[in-house]
Amino acid sequence: MSVSTTPRRGASPLRALLSLLGVVLACVVAVLMLEGGASLFLFAGDLRSARLPHDNVREHTKFDTLLGWVNDRNITSPNEYGPGIGITTNGHGFRGTRLLSSAPAAGALRVACSGDSFTIGYGVDDEHTWCHHLESLLPASETMNMGQAAYGYDQAYLWFMRDGVPYAPQLQIVALNYVQFERALTNNFDGRFKPFLEMDGALLVTRGVPVPQQSVAALRGAYSMRVIGDLRFVQWLRRFGRFDAAERAAREVDARWALVDGFVGALAAHHADRKSNVLLVYLPVRRDLRPTSVDRRRARLAATAAAHGVPFLDLTGALRTMRADSVDHAFLGKAPAGAAPGIEGHYSNFGNAWVARELANYLTKDPQMALRLAGARRAR
């Protein structure tokens, strides 16, 4: 008895398709396993090779029981941001070399610049920060650069109240960006212990002090979480709102807006009491080039500042109208070898000069602000 080996009509194309799909699926699985294995291999390697500092953010900073970290005094790091791009701190711990008298000279305007890495001038030398540029653009002024890397607005506020107030500035410029709001909600930043502010009724109070001595375990744990966050699977999960850490942080800022209100109110009360002035300024970063949920936060900040009678300058609109090639020049690209980490995305020399010009134009041309500053000069 013979058996036919002729396939049934239509069976071969279906089997061929199924076979092809099986091969494609096997290839996809193999690629995913290879990528996942490579990610895990790199993850393990990163953890093994991690060399984390014990108690300072950078070589020019030191542990501080009120602030977590702060500039050490009289430090020079000549290649901090690349060959020949250094940072200097003076005897007060502010960026720069000039020492300040206890009060400004008659007719002079002393300006304190408070903020984070965009204020200290992360990535540029002492003479190219926007705070330093501002001094040459405002008549008879002298500036105090009190910016600090990775600060929230809480730490900037506490540092100014402790170490800035004794030098009697007539104007404090508080420079904010989106991430400072999120840093202010926690007692640590990337494993670095810090203070935080809370509202006790209508009173703004400091919590988490004295700040505990930094531990390697906390730094290494935070580092591990950052490396995990770089895994492709984790990045894919973050596309969904429930797993997006940035969206969760934004929601928490909104839910605890009373703290921002208390912070702005405390600034307003302090300067009213001392007959000095304060200006809130929003410094946009690259992510602010396009509309995001941060736009609502900036609008809310403007309303909060107005409610407390605090002038507010938002530079986001000016950045969004800047030519594309100028935007590229405004932010730093790849960091030079050996430079401090995280330089990319900070203001370049051009970007810092742009901020200073925008601030000077506002301070000298806004009638109300110009009148305030004129009065501050006469009061000395």
Residue 38 lies in a domain: no
- Can you list the residues of the chain whose pLDDT is less than 70? 1-12, 16, 24, 27-56, 218, 220-245, 380
Q: How wide is the angle at C-alpha 121 spanned by C-alphas 120 and 127, nearest 5°?
A: 105
Residue 32 to residue 29: CA distance in whole angstroms: 5
Considering the domain boundaries, does residue 19 fall inside one?
no
CA distance 96 to 89: 5
- β pairing state of 141-147 and 109-115: parallel
Q: Is residue 171 part of a domain?
A: yes
The answer to whether position 22 is within a domain reads: no
What's the CATH number where 374 sits? Answer: 3.40.50.1110
**Cα distance between residue 261 and residue 197, in whole Å:** 12
- For residue 328, tell me if it sits in a domain: yes
Is 26 within a domain? no
Confidence (pLDDT) at 36:
53
Q: Is residue 231 part of a domain?
A: no
Q: Alpha carbon of 214 to those of 163, 190, 191, 221: distances in Å?
A: 22, 12, 8, 13
Give me the helices (H) in 129-280, please. Answer: 130-137, 153-159, 178-183, 216-229, 232-237, 245-255, 257-274
CB neighbours of residue 102 within 10 Å: 7
| Structure confidence by residue, pLDDT tens digits, 222-278 | 555 554 455 554 455 455 555 566 778 889 999 999 999 999 999 999 999 999 999
Q: What is the count of structural domains for the chain? A: 1
| Residues of the chain by 3-state class (helix, strand, coil), percent to 5 | 50, 15, 35
Question: Contacts by 42-46 with C-beta closer than 8 Å and gap 24+?
Answer: 43/227, 43/228, 43/230, 43/231, 46/227
Structural domain including 277 reads 63-216+241-379
Residue 23, in any domain of the structure? no
**pTM of the full structure:** 0.83
Q: What is the DSSP letter of 137?
A: H
